[in-house]
Amino acid sequence: MTSRDGYQWTAETGLVQGVPSIGVISPPTNITSTLDRCDVIVIGAGYTGLTAVRDACLAGLKVLLIEARDRIGGRSWSSNIGGYPFEMGGTWVHWGQSHVWREISRYQMRDELEPSFDFSHGVNHFQLRTNHGSRTFSHQEEDELLASALHKFVNVDGELGRKIMPFPHNAFHVPAVRQYDQMSAQDRLTEITASLTPDERAVVESFILLCSCATLETTSFFEFLHWWALCGYTYQGCLDYLISYKFKRGQSSFAINFFKEAVSTGNLLYTFNSPVQSIEDQSGKVTVTTRDSRSYTAARLISTIPLNVLSTIAFSPPLGRQRTAAINVGHVNQCVKVHAEVSSPEMRSWTGISYPFNKLTYAIGDGTTPAGNTHIVCFGGAANHIQPEEDLNKTKEAVQELAPGNMDIKRLVFHNWSKDEFAKGAWFFSPPKLLSVALDELRARHGNVLFANSDWAVGWRSFIDGAIEEGTRAAKTVTEELRSRSTSRAHL
């Protein structure tokens, strides 16, 4: 099946919208007659929604899943082109992420992980291209350079962040750490400018922007410290958790298990291609109306709509002032993630930074395609933003500029998250001052409407692990409440 989402280009086909994915659901609905009122409606079939749906169905609740897209996965899904998975959004997982590993174990997918890096052959080097020229390093030298720069950036307490953020899942309850949400990454870089070499400055800025895909001025220093703490306060931890291990058959091979298990209970109704227009909570029931004027009612609703999209939904009663203010600010990640299939197998062991002049700044050799070509995954952000489907030539130039002379492009694959109306950005990354003011409010319910999304998880916020965390929380809440209500009625 082919999704409407995503683009691919080859010289033979030109630019084509839509890529094949096992996450596409057919038929798009299993509603065959007039729908009786269900127990809970879940909006969104990303990992948060899939987790909530599955857990609620297993608990015996009647669940309706409403999804705007033609597929599951939300911001984490994979294409399958010629038998090779290109990850369109969220990609990497790690056994140290407890919610993810629980689900990987549940679906017996422990043997489905593979490493992204392979430095056993080929050019086997790191290439740093800056305004001062191009240099190559061994991967050991790359790691030493980045570790040195990052240690200077995060070391606000003499213990690389351990002292001020000993419990990253409960960070805002430590008064000493709240001050860092008032700072941007640029503010912190200004403090340590004198201690950084030019190469350190280039790589640390690139790494920060790889994480936030924003600008240095709009990147929360606190949120970067939070990522750093979750990764064990080390650069090697960042590599391991953030960019090292992925599914052999792609993220959609993981997500589909959640959906299939929910369907197998007999308690799930679903409708895809159904963007939501409004949500009304009145007289003890919640009514959802879609853009095509269909309405559905339940006792509870779980909204997994991302922060940057919530402003497109009409809520009655209106959302509170603080939540509305946070929605209006939004998160800042405007990632451009481009997959390039290049002819040289030697580039499998290559990594590179091209900064600040290039529109794609960070890239790695991430796999070998069935044709024997190298898969390069490239990242850019808001600082040098491009719309890849609107100017394919500039996109090709940006890929080639990462390693001139070595990027003979055979295929490009991408999903433009900035132009995606159901995402309006990629993974969550906070601007300064948003989380310290609004995190609790974003996590709060609104009457019979619960809000669950990785954007406001307390642990791996913005990650797949955080999405599963949030879906688990929401399903537990509605299950306990609706079971309690049923028990009370039974005793009347």
- In the listed set 399, 416, 433, which residue is the last one of a domain according to the structure? 416
Whether residue 61 is contained in a domain is answered as yes
pLDDT in tens, 214-231: 999 999 999 999 999 999
Long-range contacts of 310-313 (CB under 8 A, 24+ apart): 312/421, 313/276, 313/277, 313/278, 313/279
Question: What are the DSSP calls for 361-394, one per residue?
Answer: -EEEEEEE-TTSPEEEEEEE-GGG---TTT-HHH
> In the chain, helix, strand, coil percent, each to 5?
40, 25, 40
Domain span at 122: 115-245+336-416
- In the listed set 416, 433, 453, which residue is the last one of a domain according to the structure? 416
- Residue 156 annotated as binding site: no
Residues 217 and 131 in one domain: yes
Phi and psi torsions of 195, nearest 5°: -90, -10
Whether residue 92 is contained in a domain is answered as no
Residues 197 and 133 in one domain: yes
- Residue 379 annotated as binding site: yes
- pLDDT value for 486: 54
Residues 145 and 223 in one domain: yes
Residues 124 and 228 in one domain: yes
Whether residue 299 is contained in a domain is answered as yes
In the chain, which stretches have pLDDT less than 50? Answer: 487-492
Residues 173 and 194 in one domain: yes
Residues 216 and 348 in one domain: yes
Q: What is the CATH number of the domain that holds 177?
A: 3.90.660.10
- Residue 48 annotated as binding site: yes
Whether residue 265 is contained in a domain is answered as yes
- pLDDT value for 385: 81
Whether residue 95 is contained in a domain is answered as no
For 464, the token pair is: 């797949």
- Residue 144 annotated as binding site: no
Domain count, the chain: 2
Q: Which of 170, 178, 162 is nearest to 232 (CA)?
A: 162
Residues 320 and 355 in one domain: no
Whether residue 468 is contained in a domain is answered as yes
- pLDDT value for 429: 98
Residues 62 and 191 in one domain: no
Whether residue 93 is contained in a domain is answered as no
- pLDDT value for 35: 76
- pLDDT value for 489: 45
- In the listed set 358, 389, 416, which residue is the last one of a domain according to the structure? 416
Q: What is the CATH number of the domain that holds 281?
A: 3.50.50.60
Whether residue 73 is contained in a domain is answered as yes
